[in-house]
Copies of this chain bind each other. A is one copy, B any other.
């Protein structure tokens, strides 16, 4: 009999959940997280989601933002879940529901999903990146997810690519995220369009992508610049991990065609032995379901990924 596993993706705004069987998301739902009501409120919400499916489910996988110790099942200070600190999510939810719960970081879960069920299928060395409000991702090296000593690995968005670069939400300066995150993009777009005497109200990545696709030269310049910064970080990841495939997802990957040429230019210029490597750059295949599928797979393998 195939296993039915509850998969939950806990975000700062929404909790997406459903159950998965044989790698297919059989039912998917979403509720507001209401993170401002504190950890106990959210834990009760998760408890009732798990209980809804528990009669037929064998286990549950939960993807949660922030530093997650996947072995101990403890969540540390997720940026989007105020008041959560060192919460023993695995222990609490398993005790309350009787369903064996597995917890991992949401970006690692995303990477796991894209690796097993999406663009990374069949490869042993995969780097997956999500470009959105923040920059997250995960790394598969030699057929294993890189989790690290307390599973805080894969924080690729906080790789410094310029120590005197823009301030980042994390408190550092010049993190990769501070060049690529949507808020930073909008900020840079605003000052650029103002300087060019073309102030615009909507400078979200989506709006600037539409402008770029319509041929606007200023928007195209911004996306070229975006591809350059994306490329600098990819240079590092290629030098460190030598992946077969780099998968680019997240909301901003909708502008893929606008930034990929300048990104590839940086790779050709800067990666040692680029022509000899087998690395392929590609768009993510799964969209939103990647994290759910990753959480499912993580629970299916009981944390051995």
Contacts and interface: CB of A to CB of B under 8 A. Distances in A.
Given A139-B240, A239-B159, A276 B150 contact: yes
A262 interface: no
A163 B160 contact: no
Contacts of A159: 235-236, 239-240
A243 interface: yes
A76 interface: yes
A149 B277 contact: yes
B278 A150 contact: yes
Number of copies: 2
Interface in A35-89: 67, 76-77
A100 interface: no
Interface of A is mostly: loop
Contacts of A172: 235, 269-270
Contacts of A241: 146, 148, 153
Interface residues of A, number: 48
A273 interface: yes
Contact of A160 (B125, B154, B171, B236): B236
A242 B273 contact: no
A302 interface: no
A261 interface: no
Given A141-B153, A148-B243, 17 more contacts: A77-B273, A123-B149, A125-B148, A141-B144, A142-B144, A144-B144, A146-B146, A150-B278, A152-B242, A152-B277, A153-B240, A154-B242, A156-B239, A158-B239, A170-B272, A172-B235, A172-B269
B277 A160 contact: no
A260 interface: no
B149 A272 contact: no
Nearest to A153: B242
B77 A148 contact: no
A151 interface: yes
